[in-house]
A and B are shown apart, each in its own frame.
Chain A
Amino acid sequence: MGGVTRDDLYDAIVVGSGITGGWAAKELCENGLKTLVLERGRHVEHGKDYVTEWLQPWQLPHRGRGEQALYERDYPIQSKNYAFGEATRHFFVNDREHPYVTPHDQPFRWIRGYQLGGRSLIWGRLCWRWSDLDFEANLRDGHGVDWPIRYKDLAPWYAHVERFVGVSGERLGLPHLPDGEFLPPWELNCAEHVVKRGIERAFPGRHMTITRVANLTQALDGRGPCRARNQCARGCSYGGYFSSLSATLPAAQRTRRLTIVTDAIVHSVTYDERKDRATGVRVIDRNTKETREYAGRLIFLCASTLGTAQILLSSATRRFATGLANSSGAVGHNLMDHISKAGASGTVPGLEDKYVYGRRPTGTYVPRFRNLGGRGDAKLGFVRGYGLQAGAGRDGWTRGTELPALGAELKRQLREPGAWQMTLQGYGECLPRQENYVDLDPARTDQWGIPLLRVHCAWSENERAIREDVKTQSAEMLEAAGCKEVETYDHDGPPGFSVHEMGTARMGRDPRTSVLNAHNQAHDVPNLFVTDGACMASSSCVNPSLTYMALTARAVDYAVGELKRGKL
């Protein structure tokens, strides 16, 4: 190994600057710890480096149509993500430069943003609390291992992060989708009100609400409010949505205890067998490819589900021959994602004289209504459940290609908006399964000499059954709400596509079957914590980021306490 720099001993090293790395940094710094954040990608400065933020449609070189030949060569995976495009490409990795391996017939779409702030710049921003329906699911139906925590353990930490993030939403009083600390909700539009009434009348117990979303409907701590541009993934100088760059890293910086080093790819965690402690991390400089080390008393891995697994697997020692903190053998296994890209759409009749003002940065949501413990659950043919992300809008000028019209008549028609369309899309829970796993390629490495990650992941019967129910129920609800021309859809959606990958270093009660304890602390290595999606023992059906954030803040609180008690 090359030069070793142990000039500074940090109280804590955080690997990754995305949504959990940012939270770890903020909480560690605010608790008085001298903290180093390592980011493998480039530096991005809030505001200044949002280089496409102010470009109008006519100022994009290809008017949003992008460069197809380039995408096929360099972004064949990233370009499939909904947020990828001409104005956001620079916040996604170049697939050619960042390879990983999948079996030929078993694709996995690994969507990545290697820059300061990580994927918090381009995330979907939906924020849902889990409930005990989720935390008890593994115990109840026997899939995976029991979570070592319950809702009451996390509830105060949900509140803690919601208050800082700024989550807008509507209180529903549903036990399986607990209410939080909300800013005022975004409005439903006229067509969504119609569909909501129709669904709730026809299906007692089902609801439609506005999504709970990290777009500020009111200013908060000098950020926002959101200006309703709906172009979040370009970056937002207003700080209208929550990201590491707009919120957590600046808070950490205000303590003057934060050091950020970018272009620093963590190869592995270093470990001292005699002391039974992690001692720091080994880093490869992205540009010079030189190796160096940093020393820290606490290590927080927040490098993303697959990134963290890769680091642990690369950190084998004599004691941990298959990867650091892997006496259970669970590191890399039980990879999950949510199913999505299936549902139904239909036309909402009437309301021709109504329209919207502004571009709401989110949609509506039908909370889970399957397997809530009522009669009929057994007949469904699947365990767990799904929620539906939804939304309505009027057709715009793009409908013109399909309209049989040309010339002045075509222009006249497109000058007015078309019909209201409503779409429902299912996001379904994925079971933890040992056979969905990542490991290291024994032969091939990337340009930094790091063994390539191999991803083996496929849907099971349960996910396929959920997918079918999503389509049937979505169509039935739209029909019941009076929609016309209702059609189901089912687009290609291999695992990874929902960008909710999780599970590769799961929490659990038993060190023989799980990697982390109830405080996200490695069973095997007391000063090593994992608080990104890798820690998840099951996947729920709701978007996971808020839970990652709450777990991170809770883990920091515990780690700092242990450190002060002299136990670490």
Chain B
Amino acid sequence: MTSPTAIDRREALRQAALVLGGVLSAPLAAGVLAGCEARGTPDAAWRPRALTPDQAELVATIAEQILPATDTPGARAVGVHRFIDALLAESYRAGERERFVAGLTDLGRAFQASTPDQQRALLERLDREAAPFFRTLKDLTLVGYYTSEIGATRELHHVPVPGRYDGCVPLGQVGRTWAV
């Protein structure tokens, strides 16, 4: 919460709140925040901190296999690999981080020696068997994707301020899984 971006965002929110007499409306809040988020690092300038660039690329490749681009963008486009790298760098303890990197290295060896079809078959087998490292990677990919703005608002459905609760509506009225 101490990065310049966060402070800018808070300041922007505060000013917006003043304009509206204290309580920020949801659509405006979303606009202000999206504007701030767009100031993030462009892909070419991004450097991983916990992973090597090759490892980060491998994470992006596998994550895209788990959640690919369809009629909405996939895991690579929303930066799942960046999220995973940040989590490894900032949240994980050293031992956990090393275990993750070791698991990734193992998977990478098998993965990179394979054709695309073999890669696909390998991941499907690991998924069926719930192999521990793959399970971790799948979990982090899902978190990174479905909590991203695209994942939450375009792939799924998100309303920051619902305003009411209806306990029983036709699924079609919401249309998709709630992001939160």
Binding site for B on A (CB under 8 A): 47-48, 51, 54-70, 72, 186-190, 192-193, 227-229, 237-238, 352-360, 394, 396-398, 400-401, 404-408, 410-412, 414-417
Contacts and interface: CB of A to CB of B under 8 A. Distances in A.
Contacts of A61: 1, 3, 6, 86, 90
B29 to A, nearest CB: 5
> Which of B9, B30, B67, B86: most chain A Cβ within 10 A?
B67
A355 B165 CA distance: 11
Contacts of B30: 56
B13 interface: yes
Given A186-B165, A357-B164, A416-B176, A59 B152 contact: no
B133 to A, nearest CB: 13
Nearest to A188: B167
Given A61-B86, A68-B93, A417-B177, A356 B168 contact: yes
B163 A397 contact: no
Contacts of B50: none
Ranked nearest first, the 9 interchain pairs of A and B with the lowest CB-CB distance are A358-B162, A187-B167, A189-B167, A358-B165, A190-B168, A57-B147, A357-B166, A63-B147, A360-B165
B144 A68 contact: no
B168 A189 contact: yes
Contacts of B72: 411
Given A55-B33, A356-B165, 15 more contacts: A56-B30, A57-B158, A62-B86, A62-B91, A69-B91, A189-B168, A228-B163, A353-B170, A355-B171, A355-B174, A358-B164, A359-B178, A404-B127, A411-B68, A417-B171
B87 interface: yes
A216 to B, nearest CB: 12
Given A357-B173, A357-B174, A237 B23 contact: yes
Interface stretch (B51-59, B99-107, B135-143): B135-143
Contact of A355 (B3, B144, B170): B170
Nearest to B172: A353
B83 interface: yes
Interface residues of B, number: 67
6 contacts: A57-B179, A190-B168, A355-B171, A357-B174, A400-B142, A407-B68
Contact of B162 (A51, A57, A65, A228): A228
B139 to A, nearest CB: 5
A46 to B, nearest CB: 10
B162 to A, nearest CB: 4
A192 B33 CA distance: 36
B8 interface: no
Nearest to B3: A61
A211 to B, nearest CB: 13
Contacts of B177: 394, 396-397, 414-417
B123 interface: yes
A58 B142 contact: no
A378 B118 CA distance: 66
Given A396-B177, A415-B177, A227 B24 contact: no
A306 B179 CA distance: 39
B83 to A, nearest CB: 6
Contacts of B10: 51
Nearest to A71: B91
A417 B66 CA distance: 19
B98 interface: no
Contacts of B93: 68-69, 72
B92 A51 contact: no
Interface of B: 1, 3, 6, 9-10, 13-14, 22-24, 29-30, 33, 37, 65-68, 70, 72, 83, 86-87, 90-93, 96, 123-124, 127-128, 135, 138-139, 142-144, 146-149, 152, 155-156, 158-174, 176-180
Contacts of A187: 165-168
A51 B13 CA distance: 10
B156 A415 contact: yes
Contacts, number: 179
B165 A56 contact: no
A403 to B, nearest CB: 9
Contact of B135 (A57, A356, A401): A401
> Which of A63, A72, A188: most chain B Cβ within 10 A?
A63
Given A54-B24, A404-B128, A359 B92 contact: no
A187 B168 CA distance: 9
A356 B156 contact: no
Contacts of A360: 165, 167
Contacts of A237: 22-24
Contacts of B162: 227-229, 357-359
A552 to B, nearest CB: 30
Contacts of A355: 169-171, 173-174, 178
B117 to A, nearest CB: 13
Contact of A406 (B96, B124, B160): B124
A192 to B, nearest CB: 7
B152 A54 contact: no
Contacts of B164: 228, 357-358
Nearest to B67: A411
Given A62-B91, A396-B177, A56 B33 contact: yes
Contacts of A397: 142, 146, 156, 177, 179
Given A400-B142, A406-B66, A408-B68, A54 B33 contact: yes
A239 to B, nearest CB: 10
Contacts of A228: 162-165
A62 B92 CA distance: 11
Given A62-B86, A62-B87, A397-B146, A358 B163 contact: yes
Contact of B91 (A57, A67, A398): A67
Given A63-B144, A359-B162, A417 B178 contact: yes
Nearest to A226: B165
Nearest to A415: B176
Nearest to A353: B171
Contacts of A190: 167-168
Nearest to B70: A408
B105 to A, nearest CB: 21
A396 B178 contact: yes
Contact of A58 (B124, B152, B159): B152
Contacts of B158: 56-57
A140 B138 CA distance: 56
B171 A54 contact: no
A414 B72 CA distance: 13
A63 B152 contact: no
A290 B92 CA distance: 39
A444 B127 CA distance: 52
B91 A58 contact: no
